[in-house]
Amino acid sequence: MRSTTAVNVVVAGFGSTYRHDDAVGSVVAERAVARMPLSHYVGPLADPLDLLGVWNEADLVIVVDAVTSGAPVGTLHTLEIDVNHDVPERVATTSSPGVASTHGIGLTAVLGLARALHQAPRRLVVVAIEGERFDLGEGLSAAVEAAVPLAVQQVVELIEEVQPCA
């Protein structure tokens, strides 16, 4: 941790506000950044490619998204991605195998591109909530809504690791 310079933290919320639980990434990211004003919120994002140029050399990037892995709805998944080594795409979103992603190019592919361009963040953590409804419409399912405070707290704690006085 650096004490004399500002720490660059990006919190990226993925998903569509018009596809029920898909909106949870932005909901969690916005609430966490509201509690940690020295961090920077980006979103709602639809594609991991949107992170290029935003996360360049950030000290910490937290990606928040909804996932479908077969775990119970509302389950919180947290995974730190090794920014210096290739990670199989199937584990890029959560620690559970077989997680489905709706994004065209995966997060680890974008990370590989950022590394090639010397623009990768120093640390990358994914915080995801197991979703239930991804059909058209607004509002989170009850189990996903109930998991939001825990996910917000997880994001805040990750930020506090690098910005303890924020």
| Residue 142: inside a domain | yes
| Residue 2: inside a domain | no
Measured at the CA of 134, the angle between CA 101 and CA 148, to 5 degrees, comes to 85
Of residues 38, 31, 36, 1, the one with CA closest to residue 13: 31
- State residue 40's pLDDT score: 87
Number of domains in the chain: 1
- The helix/strand/coil state of 152 is helix
| Residue 44: inside a domain | yes
Contacts of 5 (CB under 8 A, 6+ apart): none
Q: How many CB atoms lie within 10 A of CB 120?
A: 21
Residues of the domain holding 100 = 9-162
- The tens digit of pLDDT for each residue in 94-150 reads 333 344 444 457 888 888 888 888 889 999 999 999 999 999 999 999 999 999 999
Lowest mean pLDDT among 3-17, 33-47, 58-72: 3-17
Q: What is the Cα–Cα distance from 20 to 156, expressed in whole angstroms?
A: 24
| Residue 50: inside a domain | yes
In this model, does residue 72 exceed pLDDT 80? yes
| Residue 110: inside a domain | yes
Q: What is the pLDDT confidence band of residue 84, given thresholds at 50, 70 and 90?
A: confident
| Residue 97: inside a domain | yes
| Residue 73: inside a domain | yes
Q: What is the pLDDT confidence band of residue 4, given thresholds at 50, 70 and 90?
A: very low
| Residue 40: inside a domain | yes
Lowest mean pLDDT among 10-14, 88-92, 129-133: 88-92
